[in-house]
Structure 1
Amino acid sequence: MGDFAGALWRAHRGLATAWWILVLAQAMLPAAFAYEVGSLIAAADKTGPLIGLGTVFLLMQILAPLHGQVSTNLGAHLSSRLQDRLITAATGPPGIAHLESAALTGELAVARDFDLGISGPPLALSMGLIAGSLVEALAGAGQAILLATWHWWAGALLGTAWLATHWLLRDAARWSRDTPEVRYAQRRAEYTYRLAVDPPAGKEIRLFGLSDWTVRQFVHNRQKLVDLRWQATKLRQRGLGVTLAVLTVANGLVFWTLATDATALGVKATFAQAAIGTAALAFGGLNWALPPAIEAVKAADRLDRSMAEVGALPCGSRIPSGTALRFRHVRFSYPNADKPVLDGLDLDIPAGTSLAVVGVNGAGKTTLVKLICRLYDPTAGTVEADGVDLKTLDLTSWRGNVTAVFQDFIRYQLPLKDNVAPTGASEEDIRAALAATDAEFADLDTVLSKGYDGGTDLSGGQWQRVALARALAAVKQGAGIVVLDEPTAQLDIKGETEAFTRFLQHTKGCTTILVSHRFGTVRQADRICVLDNGKVAELGSHDELMAANGKYRTMFDLQAARFQHD
């Protein structure tokens, strides 16, 4: 509870202060109402008690909706802060291991549930429920105190009896969301939710008639969450029976004493209401509304630490001085993988040269790209730039020296100019980068998404030209190493060959690494590296490798034969 209260304070101090003040104020009103009712019955002159009763009643009507508005706003601020923390946790670490960790991805899905509302209400709604539950619980305590002014033991007995329900029915509040089953069910529910509401899957869902299937998948996964919670929190018959017995004895004794007491009717009315109101201390809404909110706060803290640890990379202070790359006995394994992706890789890439990397799927081509960009560090061995281990270089400076076009490059729903140069560049440089890829766009301010007024979408080939232009703009800004991972897969063969030829012309002097399956493009590189089983199987120019009649010749001939047949 302390962590949760601290999170509210950090989310918005003013709203948090108002929220707690309103909780306490509303909690005192039921006891005040009971007192005023008793005073009204007992008083000969009803004017004063009526004014008091009316004032309390009016405050009860005003403070409740006011508290609801404060709760909604505070919940929205808390939700925003937690989302900020989760985004920071995901984007902050210099590496990407935490984003490719199945365990952390599942935990992130659970942590984000507080805002998605898949298995429970979002925080903007939950805060109102929590406020109501706290008010009830504190109001119950207040009325137990009022009852104790009549007989101390009565207030203590009823207060203890109703509080005991929290312990006697503790099984009903015991639900751990931090389990593999819950994380998996939550992740699947979120995935099918995204399938339904995000555009990328929209075409296939409609084309293949998957609308009902998608809804069934989501309902099934969400129902799994409900079932898990029910199995963990269902009431035990033994606990329920003991609870009913304790409450029957405690309430029976207090009300029997009250009924036989010789006090005045007004006094009896006051304490009868207080005895009834003490029931607000019982097991109830606080037990189901508060724990998920507390868990959301804890999850943000937990992910902040765990993602920072898993995604951490050592960072030196040396400034990179060149673009020659060398892999020395590099071995790399992804977490929980059965075998290494790279196993004893040795490779030299002289500065200012172009190298094409080919190999079958799973040979380690994309992993090689990740190591050059220093998104991961080798499990063993070193990656060097001009003889210096990348780990000793300043990471920001190194990445400023590298630009890349990834196979799964991002299509930003932003203006064209921001797609080409997200961190800013002159209009002249942006247009030059687009021209170098033979891309024809008139308005740099056009948003590349049809979801915005005046926006437009691009074909796959046009998007790839934009991604190439993004890399060229980075070269213009000082990048000396260019990495291309299947950069033109959506262009036709002629378009790809022409695009890569122009790209090499505009990146002359840069060290260029190209990963591609198309040998018509690959053969333009100065040298070609064939990866096999995590090692360099062949290395040389196109003519040298063709003459060697090895793996490269076999792959080239197979592809060439297919095109000749076509």
Structure 2
Amino acid sequence: MAIATRLAGGVPRAWWARLRRSGEWQLLFHIIWQADRRLAAVWWALIVLRALLPPALAVATGWLVGTVQDGGSLTVPLATVGVLFTLIQTLGPLHTELATNLGDRTSAALQDRLLTSAVAPVGIAHLEDPELAGDFSLARDFDLGITAPELRTCMGYIASGLVNFVAGILSALVVCGFRWWAGLLLLLVWASPHLLLRESVAWKDWRSDEVKAHQRHAEYAYRMAVDAPAAKEIRLFGLADWTAQRFTERRRALLELSLQAMRLRERPIRLTVLVLVVGNGLVAWALAHAALTGDLSLSGLVTYAGAAIGVSAVASLEFGWWLADASRPVPVVAELEPAMKAIGDLPVGTTSARDLPRHEIRFENVSFSYRADSRPILDGLDLTIPAGTSLAIVGQNGAGKTTLIKLLARLYDPTAGVVRVDGIDLRDLDPDSWRGQIAAAFQDFVRYQLPLRENVAPDGAPDDVIRKALEQAGAADLAALDTVLSKQFAGGIDLSGGQWQRVALARALAAVARGAKVVILDEPTAQLDVRGEAEVFDRILQATRGLTTILVSHRFSTVRHADRICVLEGGRVVEIGSHDELMAAGGRYKTMFELQAARFAEGRDLDEDAGLVGEIGGDR
């Protein structure tokens, strides 16, 4: 107890605290245990067992030699040597396979933590924050083999390195049986490369802005090369070599930065070699002198010489390199958890939103900026949406249409002002309860590589509800409900853009059937032709009659059917009223409407008119 107290007192607390916070410590003593406690226990047990075998073999070999000298029975010592040698040869491959399994489980555990960190916050600001993007990309893609070997590969080398390290220490203890100073000296000289060449092992700047930029570009090129959606354009435009070159250039840049950071220096190498030669030379001279003077028997010489050679395993720098690479994502994930929560989390209200709104949704002097140093997207916006009515929102790019929807869905909170639902501050409502009242079809809707049934109702719904929603969206005969909507699966199919949009609309309509009171349609028919749009929109109006519907669209043939139309400009409402009222007012709405009508009269495809879409299309 006294020795332990002295040792603990001799270790600087700051160093000890830093060690416990390090990725290496967290990986070996926390993360792998959280991933699979039993597998981690076996992994460590095999490290101890394998580490005992080399010094045990040295002792057994000396025993065998001594038995031969004495003319005794060789059965037991020879069998012992054979068993130890067999275990050394067989436990290694077994340990590697187990380490691969543990690496996979550890990788999955880290990804689970990252996924939880990403989805736990109430808002989404943490997923759009540029300062977190680099670390998030490093943490998300650490196991793709882009910036470092996969964890499943690293764990086997870490195990072997730990075995060598511990075996070297145990071998030094055996040498201490010859001379106490000999074992200690060998341990120190063979540990010296870890100190003298430490700059050649650890890549300290792997989270620098330069490294993050190269990594993100390499990962982007990798995604383009392997993801199916990009395959058509890459081949059509002959971009295969271009994509591969981008990945190669960025990957080489990363490798060069790594090699530059770990480049061996001439002076440390010379000093390391000198220390090793002098230290091992002294011990070898002492062994030889003892043997020649009769102070050491042949069996003792064989035992201690074999153990002395075994101490060299302590010097394995490969262990530190693999451990440093494997542990890289650990501190990133650990730091991202509180950082993402701090940026993306919102105050959680407790008031139920069941059956809301009954009267109105009101934006009162609402302002919003995505960053404190950026211009406001919404600036003192006032808007009232009576419950049970439909409101269309139009405006130029950057007017704040999509931002308004994000605030309504409480993906963000206003930086100033308040959004009220029947007089209740939206921040006082339970977020899950409020979002349960919302059905949404976004322009950038998700295309789930799942059966049609789960695309329409990911959280489950009766088949009759799903079929009715598909019928209302004009997709009744699209496919069987069990058909996977991706050709990457056996029996799966691919859909056109318009068909996918109908599926997204069906998803919103299924939510309406299950009780949603607010319908958000963000460019809901952008990928449909004019006739398909008219057909689908009539179905939507019928299905959402009596609900509060907010529609964002650049097609005025669609928005004119809304009860009221709101024109946003400069983050504020500049016009609001019915189609007839706004046309009679002769303001901004009339100008945009007549511009689009003139293009239509000329027979031009509105969706392909870049100038018009830029004038009245989407925004953030």
Which category describes the TM-score, using the shorter chain as reference length?
over 0.9
Of residues 381, 386, 396 in structure 1, which corresponds to 2:432? 396
Instruction: Look up the match of 2:607.
Output: none
Work out the CA distance in 1 between the residues paired with 2:467 and 2:65: 85
Judged with a 3 Å threshold, the aligned counterparts in structure 2 of structure 1 residues 3 and 243 are, in CA distance, closer, same or farther, namely same
Question: Which of 536, 545, 550 is the aligned partner of 2:587?
Answer: 550
Q: Which residue matches 1:290?
A: 323
CA contact (8 A) 1:33 1:56 kept: yes
SS of 1:43's equivalent in the other structure is helix
Cα offset for 1:350?
0.8
Equivalent in the alignment of 2:401: 365
CA offset digits 1:89-143 (Å, max 9, x no partner): 1122111111111222221221133321112221111110100010011111111
C-alpha separation in 1, matches of 2:446 and 2:512: 18
For residue 342 of structure 2, what is the aligned residue in structure 1? 309
Partner of 1:377: 413
Preserved contact between residue 433 and residue 469 of structure 1 (Cα < 8 Å)? yes
The 5-angstrom pairing of residues 101-250 of structure 1 reads 101-176=129-204, 177-250=206-279
1:309-361 Cα shifts (integer Å, max 9, x gaps) = 22101111112253221111111111365211111111111111111111111
Alpha-carbon offset, residue 283 of structure 1: 4.6
- Structure 1 unmatched runs, 5+: none
Partner of 1:459: 496
How far apart, in 2, do the equivalents of 1:425 and 1:31 lie?
Answer: 65
Shift of residue 404, structure 1, vs aligned partner:
0.7
The answer to whether the aligner puts 1:3 opposite 2:31 as a matched pair is no
2:173–2:183: 8 Å Cα contact kept in structure 1?
yes
For the residues of structure 2 that align with 1:301 and 1:67, how far apart are their CA atoms?
28
Counterparts of 1:12 and 1:432 in 2: how far apart (Å)? 45
Deviating more after overlay: 174-183 vs 337-346: 174-183
- Alignment match, 2:475: 439
Q: How much does 1:555 deviate?
A: 1.2
Matching residue of 2:14? none
Give the Cα–Cα distance (whole angstroms) in 1 for the partners of residues 172 and 240 of structure 2. 55
Residue 401 of structure 1, CA deviation: 0.7
- Contact kept, 8 Å, 2:201 with 2:317, in 1: the verdict is no
Aligned to 1:322: 356
Q: Does 1:407 align with 2:443?
A: yes
Q: In 2, Cα distance between the equivalents of 1:361 and 1:218?
A: 33
Segments of 4+ moved more than 4 angstroms: none
Q: Which amino acid aligns with 2:225?
A: A
Count how many residue pairs are aligned between Structure 1 and Structure 2. 566
The answer as to 2:125 corresponding to 1:97 is yes
Does the 8 Å contact 2:447/2:500 carry over to 1?
A: yes
Q: For structure 1, which segment, 376-385 or 279-288, has the greater mean C-alpha deviation from structure 2 after superposition? A: 279-288
Does 482-491 or 173-182 show the bigger shift? Answer: 173-182
Over 3 Å counting, the alpha-carbon distance change for 1:426 and 1:164 in structure 2 is: same
**Which one-letter code corresponds to 2:64 in the other structure?**
L
- Matched residues in 2 for 1:49 and 1:437: separation? 82
Is contact 1:169–1:283 with CA below 8 Å preserved after alignment? no
| Identical positions, percent | 54
Alignment of 1:31-110 (within 5 A): 31-44=55-68, 45=72, 46-110=74-138
Conservation of the 8 A alpha-carbon contact between 2:202 and 2:321: no
TM-score by length of structure 2 reads 0.89
Letter in 1 for 2:256: D
The question of whether the paired residues in 1 share the 8 Å contact of 2:125 and 2:412 is answered with yes
CA displacement at 1:144 relative to structure 2: 0.9
Residue identity matched to 1:465: R
1:17-36 mapped onto 2 (5 Å cutoff): 17-36=41-60
Q: CA RMSD in A?
A: 1.5
Q: 2-side partners of 1:236 and 1:346: how far apart? A: 66
SS in 1 for 2:584: helix
Change (3 A) 1:53 1:436: same
| Aligned equivalent of 2:523 | 486
CA deviation after TM superposition for structure 1 residue 300, in Å: 2.3
Asked if 1 retains the 8 angstrom alpha-carbon contact of 2:456 and 2:510, the reply is yes
Q: In the alignment, what sits opposite 1:268? A: 301
Gaps of 5+ in 2: 1-23, 604-620
